[in-house]
Amino acid sequence: MRAAESLRRARVRACLVALIGLGLALPALTIWLDAVRHSLGPDPWAEASRRSGSWALVFLVASLAVTPLRQTLRLAALAPMRRVIGLTGFAYAVLHVAIHLGSIGGDVRRFLAELISQRNLLFGALAIALLIPLAATSFDRAIRALGGVAWRRLHLLVFPAAAFAIVHFAVSWPQKVDVTEPAVAAGLFAWLVGYRLIAPRGGAPGLATYAGLALAAAGVTAGLEFAWFALRTRVDPWLVLAANLDPELGPRPAAWVLAAGVAALMLRLARPSARSARRGPLARQLPIA
Ligand code: HEM
């Protein structure tokens, strides 16, 4: 009976690992498929670089969201996902840089010269330089060799790495007057940093803190958007700020970030009690060690 149960669990686990692996590899597969079908548009290198860079950032930010999500839902089984998603983000960043290198015919000298002369690329290079030691120490042996405290301290570098990646994203952004995507990325990052600073050790904060964090992250988003328009365009930044209060103009970046913060608050409201989280079925979900 026990053997049958552990076989069933092993199968469920293998299926979950395969599904998650497929999900994480899917963006790369679609880039590759579009490349072989010549459907990446008029500038295939730039499109492949753009798409791989976007996914690198998505996975990097998603890896930072795992701990808040785990603590908010009291879902300990999510913990191993942080490493998996973080390493996936790094793999996409490497792919992104490789595609960029490919686009210039593999000319390493030109590549290095560009990193120094083009400010947007310099921020990308700083991001990947910080990610390399993190990826290199994301294995059990490295964790044991470094010890838990040093490892955790080293891995705090993921925050400046993500900040550099977001600056790189913003300054590489081709449009000047619609900066929704970089502004939302920066606002979500502000929420994640705020959470880490405020959350009590090992647990989730109270409901009022989630509400405050949602408002503060939305405020930071609106402020960054204001600064962008003030510094980089001739558009009146006060009009952009006022647009946040006009529902007819559709959801602005600050509204998207507020919605994400409210969603986190809802999850906190709906989470199981500490006792049922320890005993209940949620604790057995995603059994990926
Ligand atoms: C040496 C390091 C890097 C180089 C040389 C580099 C190069 C580039 C280039 C040339 C572009 C503009 C693509 C185009 O519009 O044609 C770009 C955009 C981008 N890169 Fe990087 N990158 C680097 C690191 C990174 C890293 C580490 C990340 C994220 C973790 C990243 C994320 C992005 C994103 C999100 C974009 C904008 C994509 C879009 O326009 O939608 N890059 N990068």
Position 282 confidence tier, pLDDT thresholds 50, 70, 90:
very low
3-state helix, strand, coil in the chain (%, to 5): 80, 0, 20
Residue 41 shares a structural domain with residue 91: yes
- Ligand 1 centroid from CA 107, angstroms: 17
Would you say residue 245 lies in a domain?
A: yes
CA distances 216 to 11, 209, 223, 242, 258, Å, are 44, 10, 10, 17, 9
Over residues 166-193, the mean pLDDT reads 92
Residues 193 and 155 in one domain: no
pLDDT in tens, 39-90: 999 999 999 999 999 999 999 999 999 999 999 999 888 888 999 999 999 9
- Is the pLDDT at 6 greater than 90, yes or no? no
Which of 172, 187, 205 corresponds to the end of one domain? Answer: 172
pLDDT in tens, 255-267: 999 999 999 999 9
Domain with 78, as residue range(s), is 1-172
Ligand 1 center from residue 128 Cα (angstroms) = 10
Mutation test of ligand 1: which of 172, 173, 179, 184 has the most ligand atoms closer than 8 Å to its C-beta?
172
Q: How far is the CA of 95 from the centre of ligand 1 (A)?
A: 10
- Whether 162 and 37 map to the same domain: the answer is yes
Atom of ligand 1 nearest to the CA of 111: 5
pLDDT digits (tens, 9 = 90+) for 116-140: 999 899 999 999 999 999 999 998 8
Give the residue whose CA is nearest to atom 23 of ligand 1: 124
Q: What's the Rg (C-alpha) of the chain?
A: 21
Residues 180 and 156 in one domain: no
Q: Which residue has the higher pLDDT, 32 or 174?
A: 32
DSSP for residue 174: S
Q: Tell me: do 157 and 117 sit in the same domain.
A: yes
Q: What is the mean pLDDT of residues 150-157?
A: 94
First to last CA, the chain: 23
153 in the same domain as 30: yes
Is residue 236 domain-shared with residue 199, that is, in the same domain? Answer: yes
Please tell me the total count of domains within the chain.
Answer: 2
Does one domain contain both 165 and 223? no
- The CA distance from 273 to 270, in Å, is 9
Using the predicted structure, report yes or no on whether residue 229 has a pLDDT greater than 80: yes
Q: Is residue 287 part of a domain?
A: no
Residues with CB under 6 A from ligand 1: 46, 49-50, 53-54, 56-57, 60, 93, 96-97, 100, 121, 124-125, 127-128, 165, 168-169, 172-173
